[in-house]
Structure 1
Amino acid sequence: MRWGRRGAEVTAAADLPRTALELQNVSHAYGDRPVLHDVTLTLGESRVGVVGANGSGKSTFARLLNGLVVPSAGTVLVDGLDTRTQLREVRRRVGFVFQDPDAQIVHPTVAEDVEFGLTNLGVPADERARRVEDMLARYGLAGHHDHPAHLLSGGQKQLLAIAGVLVMQPQRVVFDEPTTLLDLANTRRVARVIDELEQHVVVVTHHLDLLTGFDRVLVFEDGRVAADGAPAETLRWYVDRLS
């Protein structure tokens, strides 16, 4: 591992591919409250985990990756596309799954909610129908086509939120604490879903077991990347830090 400011490992962008998520000297504040400080990273790996205490900046970092948040300073690039000026194309490439699926489910029935993004993209009706049915079958929701979305269980709602993102066929998916509100059985189910995805993923989580088999883990602390490296070593560092 290589270590930088405050003993943190820092990964240089030099030899990583342009088909990547890049943060260049990124800082962000909400009003007078700074939450991220001068973060520079290039993420080209298939599986990236993000951990840190509440208030460490990790959720703001996640929202930067598809333009839900635009940095106060610096630049965020997705495959070379600037989230400030090319937001529509960025969001075609990067899907986002929220911690609370109720923040993401906007339509009254299950099928309508999955179809919503495809309608906005102008996908033809027959293609929309096929893709919606495929997603519902894939995530065990085929029998809930016309079911009121708000009456689903918590686990089903999270699967619906995931289906609504994946039906858009993004190249990457960012998950912001996707299992925090779930019981153990549904946590394991969502973990399997993430594990089986073909897309590149970034997963922000307090559940460290979700990151088994990942390529890289970032630890955020006080708005900075405090450690960055292979999961086993980085998570050991993080757990020791909490002791």
Structure 2
Amino acid sequence: MNASPAIELQGVTLVRGATPVFQDLSLSLREPRVGLIGDNGAGKSSLFRLLCGLEEPRAGTVRVAGQGVGSLATGTVGLMFQNPDEQIIFPTVEEELAFSLSARGLPRREAREQARAFLAQRGLSAWAERAIGSLSQGQRQHVCWLALVIGAPQVLLLDEPFASLDLPGQALLRQEIAQAAQTVIVSTHLLDHVRDFGRVLWLERGRVRADGPGAEVCAAYEADVAARLAAHQLSLADAA
């Protein structure tokens, strides 16, 4: 596995509309695998948007491999959205994967040839010309993962990557994450997929509630949810 690029946030404040998301957030991430957990609205997706440059902080700095996010080379950080339909833009699998290569300067014809070869290596040759609309939600999610991997960014940000996958799909993606050469940061509500990570962050209302080994942080979050449930501090509105 390649050395993980340093990801640094220093004194970051992010405000969306009139709502503060982060206030003076500082983080240093150097591990090859990092998990993000916490309730909806805790700031997990917002952190990803900062790391890939989709949002700019009102104050503070965000740096990856020593460079400000705004000046990063194309393909340094890749984001997989929660909903694959918000990410996929081409009508066939082959074209979607080829776009990841074209974006890095590869000629279109060569990009499509490499995309076909990439699929063949994974026993997915039959997917090359398949229409995206013919794939299940889980299959489209897997296409998004493959599009990230073929583009070979240094950092992969996966936002709820297991949500639409069946059990075999989850097992396959978990295996591929374990084998990936890149730094992978996984945001998920399915804690078993990050419980064995060396580092997990529990975000709560834009701050880091806990930071440490996955087994410990996941157990603490589960205990907190159980305590809130027992104290009747949870409702269906919290689970929206």
Aligned pair partner of 1:41 in 24, 27, 47: 27
Tell me if structure 2 keeps the 8 A contact 1:70–1:83.
no
**Which whole-Å CA distance do the structure 1 matches of 2:123 and 2:196 have between them?**
25
Give the corresponding residue for 2:133.
150
1:74 partner letter: G
Deviation at 1:96, TM superposition (A): 0.9
TM-score, reference length from structure 1:
0.86
Aligned residue runs from structure 1 range 25-64, under 5 A: 25-64=11-50
Higher mean C-alpha displacement, 157-166 vs 188-197:
188-197
Tell me if structure 2 keeps the 8 A contact 1:176–1:204.
yes
Aligned residue runs from structure 1 range 10-29, under 5 A: 19-29=5-15
1:47 partner letter: R
Structure 1 unmatched runs, 5+: 1-16
Answering whether residue 174 of structure 2 is matched by residue 191 of structure 1, we say yes
Deviation at 1:210, TM superposition (A): 0.7
Tell me if structure 2 keeps the 8 A contact 1:18–1:80.
no
After superposition, give the CA deviation of every residue in 1:139-178 in whole Å (9 maximum; x if it has no partner). Answer: 5432021111121112211111111111111111010011
1:56 partner letter: A
Aligned pair partner of 1:106 in 89, 93, 96: 89
**Which whole-Å CA distance do the structure 1 matches of 2:12 and 2:120 have between them?**
40
Give the corresponding residue for 2:237.
none
Give the corresponding residue for 1:240.
223
Deviation at 1:133, TM superposition (A): 2.1
Deviation at 1:72, TM superposition (A): 2.1
Deviation at 1:118, TM superposition (A): 1.8
Tell me if structure 1 keeps the 8 A contact 2:9–2:61.
yes
2:149 partner letter: L
1:230 partner letter: P
After superposition, give the CA deviation of every residue in 1:64-95 in whole Å (9 maximum; x if it has no partner). Answer: 111122222211001011113x04x1x42111
Q: Secondary structure at the match of 1:181?
A: coil
**Which whole-Å CA distance do the structure 1 matches of 2:18 and 2:188 have between them?**
27
Answering whether residue 53 of structure 2 is matched by residue 67 of structure 1, we say yes
Structure 2 unmatched runs, 5+: 227-240
Deviation at 1:135, TM superposition (A): 2.9
Deviation at 1:212, TM superposition (A): 3.5
Aligned residues: 224
Aligned pair partner of 2:66 in 53, 77, 80: 80
2:92 partner letter: T
**Which whole-Å CA distance do the structure 1 matches of 2:65 and 2:81 have between them?**
22
Aligned residue runs from structure 1 range 201-216, under 5 A: 201-216=184-199
For the structure 1 residues 139 and 210, does the alpha-carbon distance in structure 2 shift closer, same or farther, using more than 3 Å as the test? Answer: farther
Q: Secondary structure at the match of 2:185?
A: strand
Tell me if structure 2 keeps the 8 A contact 1:92–1:170.
yes
After superposition, give the CA deviation of every residue in 1:189-209 in whole Å (9 maximum; x if it has no partner). Answer: 222221221111000000011
**Which whole-Å CA distance do the structure 2 matches of 1:60 and 1:209 have between them?**
22
Deviation at 1:126, TM superposition (A): 5.8
Tell me if structure 2 keeps the 8 A contact 1:216–1:229.
yes
Same amino acid, percent of matched pairs: 40
Q: Secondary structure at the match of 2:111?
A: helix
Give the corresponding residue for 1:167.
150
Give the corresponding residue for 2:232.
none
